[in-house]
């Protein structure tokens, strides 16, 4: 599904907070400059400011994220404005926790024997989760992934700027040891490349 894929792609490839991802709007995506402006956060139904002053920033749109956004844009009827991660009413953004519960977690909990969903009827066998599939660790795991990836290629200061945090906060909460990366990297790659489609 394009919406689920876009939600994972935005979080995994830009490092925005869940509230910031919900606040992204089509009219703030500058395709020529390859960035999106982070101007607001949406918490439940409340549209407000970003968490900190430095969180209001531009985030890069990689070629991979661009393709994901274009797929979503086309599926939404090519809107000129409005929330990128629009919910059913279009005037409000989707609730990310609902996407995770209804689509992402079930897609990652497939049976190793029949590849059916956990909720499916497994008449001739007992459900056994396919351990080759990544486990869902939540939206913030995707943010930590971005922070660690940027830190590995640049420095702590650049990583902090990418996340819209101070260096101290980024180092303490978002930069994770390399041993965490393979599982998270696999989850991101699988989700973005079509596991959740």
Range of the domain at 19: 2-192
Q: What are phi and psi of 179, to 5 degrees?
A: -65, -20
Q: Is residue 161 part of a domain?
A: yes
Q: Is residue 123 part of a domain?
A: yes
Cross-strand partners of 111: 129
Q: Is residue 36 part of a domain?
A: yes
> Which stretches of the chain are DSSP H helices?
2-14, 18-23, 63-75, 96-99, 105-108, 139-153, 156-163, 167-169, 181-190
Q: Is residue 133 part of a domain?
A: yes
Q: Is residue 180 part of a domain?
A: yes
Q: Return the higher-pLDDT residue of 157 and 77.
A: 77
Mean per-residue pLDDT, 58-77: 94
Q: What are the C-alpha distances in Å from 20 to residues 11, 127, 153, 163, 186? A: 9, 37, 24, 11, 24
Report the pLDDT value the prediction gives residue 197, as an integer from 0 to 100.
45
Q: What is the CATH number of the domain that holds 170?
A: 1.10.443
Mean per-residue pLDDT, 178-185: 57
Report the pLDDT value the prediction gives residue 111, as an integer from 0 to 100.
92
Q: Is residue 88 part of a domain?
A: yes
Among residues of the chain, what percentage have pLDDT more than 90? 49
Mean per-residue pLDDT, 87-110: 91
Q: Is residue 197 part of a domain?
A: no
How do residues 107-137 score in pLDDT, each as one tens digit?
889 999 998 888 888 888 999 999 998 889 8
Q: If you ran DSSP here, which 8-state letter would residue 134 be given?
A: P
55 pLDDT tier (thresholds 50, 70, 90)? confident
Report the pLDDT value the prediction gives residue 69, as an integer from 0 to 100.
97
Stated pTM of the model: 0.78
Q: Is residue 152 part of a domain?
A: yes
Q: What total of structural domains would you count in the chain?
A: 1
């Amino acid at each position: 599904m394009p919406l689920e894929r876009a939600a994972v792609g935005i979080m995994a490839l830009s490092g925005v907070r869940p509230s910031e991802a919900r606040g992204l709007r089509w009219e703030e995506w500058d395709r020529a400059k390859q960035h999106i402006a982070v101007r607001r956060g949406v918490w439940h139904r409340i549209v407000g400011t970003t968490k900190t002053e430095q969180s209001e920033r531009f985030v890069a749109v990689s070629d991979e994220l661009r393709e994901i956004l274009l797929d979503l844009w086309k599926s939404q009827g090519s809107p000129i404005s409005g929330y990128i991660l629009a919910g059913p009413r279009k005037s409000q953004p989707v609730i990310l926790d609902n996407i995770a519960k209804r689509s992402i977690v079930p897609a990652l909990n497939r049976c190793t024997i029949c590849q059916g969903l956990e909720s499916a009827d497994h008449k001739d066998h007992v459900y056994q989760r396919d351990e080759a599939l990544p486990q869902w660790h939540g939206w913030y795991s995707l943010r930590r992934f971005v922070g660690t990836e940027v830190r590995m290629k640049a420095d702590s200061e650049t990583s902090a700027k990418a996340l819209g945090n101070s260096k101290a906060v980024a180092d303490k909460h978002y930069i994770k040891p390399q041993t965490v990366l393979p599982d998270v990297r696999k989850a991101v790659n699988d989700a973005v490349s079509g596991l959740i489609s």
